[in-house]
Amino acid sequence: MKRALLVFAILGATLARDGARADVVERVVATVDDEAIFLSDLRKRAMPFLPRLMEVPELQRLAALRQLYDELLDQLINEELVERAAQRQQIRVSSADVDRAVMNVVRQNGLEESEFWEVVAQQGYSQAEYRSDLRRQLLRYRLLNERVRGRVNITEEDVRRVYDQRTRRANRALRFRTSHVLVPVAEDATATEVAEARGHADEIHGEITAESFEDFVDEVGGGDLGWLRQGDLPEALEEVLLALQPGEISDPVRGPSGFHVFLLHERERGDASVPPFEQMRDQIYQEMMGRAMERQERLFLEELRRGAIVEKLL
């Protein structure tokens, strides 16, 4: 909790306007028509995320904090818009509805009810906060089902088309067996440190051979990556492997963890098999429906925003 309060202290200074005191306790951070959203609402919503925020490197923490609050404020605005739209449609969620939803979640997680609430508390929520959040989810779901579900029509032919695409992609995918030497670069590395790592990788590339590759792995780091399929690696790294012939060594290439020097052992066409359509139909349908509903939800929220006067004051 002390760490969370420390973040709030930083936030108070961040959100204070020019000439205002840094110890801001309360103020309006957004309005939706005549309804105000307060700083305390935002702080309360952020509380479960603050311990994780404290794990961000100190130099990046303030930017991460700003991004978190901006995202949560948009979430609060959207919830207010949904609440108003649900009232207009006379859509309601009762306490009994929330009780049933809670018990469904408890059963799905295979826990006793007391154990479930312990987990909720460990995640930084009170029972009242969790139930309130669940009510908002149910309200949004019912509103979207009422207003948006009819816009989505996924046919058997649509599902079959996606299944056929996956089958073709699996059949033509390449597999790689490769090893790499990795010169690590920390996430918060300075430009000088990155340049030094690149120089080290260049030196390794100038000396390494297929025969000595394992020696450099033992000395610097890396290892055997085994068999990989297209898509397993970031695109920039995969392009390097696609350009190699078995036995060749790549130039140093920057990846998320540092600079890699690859040795390609083998490359072959994939032998991936896709389950029969009957086994995949429901899964593909649910995936397509989920994506379509997410898109329609975004469009619906944009419609609600255009119909309201929304002002962010953060």
- The lowest-confidence range among 88-102, 220-234, 266-280, 295-309 is 266-280
The residue that leads in pLDDT, 165 or 90, is 90
Token digits of residue 199 = 């120089």
Q: What pLDDT band is residue 21 in, cutting at 50, 70 and 90?
A: very low
Residue 101 pLDDT: 94
Token digits of residue 287 = 């995936």
**In the chain, what are the domains?**
2-152 (1.10.4030.10), 174-269 (3.10.50.40)
Per-residue pLDDT averaged across 216-243, rounded? 87
pLDDT at 17 over 50: no
Task: Note the helical H segments in 89-227.
Answer: 95-108, 113-122, 127-147, 156-172, 191-207, 213-220
Please state, rounded to an integer, the average pLDDT across all residues of the chain.
87
Q: What is the pLDDT of residues 144-162, one digit of tens each?
A: 999 888 889 999 999 999 9
- The lowest-confidence range among 132-141, 169-178, 251-260, 262-271 is 169-178
pTM of the shown model: 0.58
Q: What pLDDT band is residue 171 in, cutting at 50, 70 and 90?
A: low
Residue 212 pLDDT: 94
Closest CA to 314 of 128, 9, 36: 36
The whole-angstrom separation of Cα 38 and Cα 163 is: 48
Exposed / middle / buried, residue 167 (Cβ in 10 Å: 0-12, 13-18, 19+): middle
CB 250 within 8 A of CB 261: yes
Q: What is the pLDDT of residues 50-69, one digit of tens each?
A: 888 888 888 898 999 999 99
Token digits of residue 154 = 């996924």
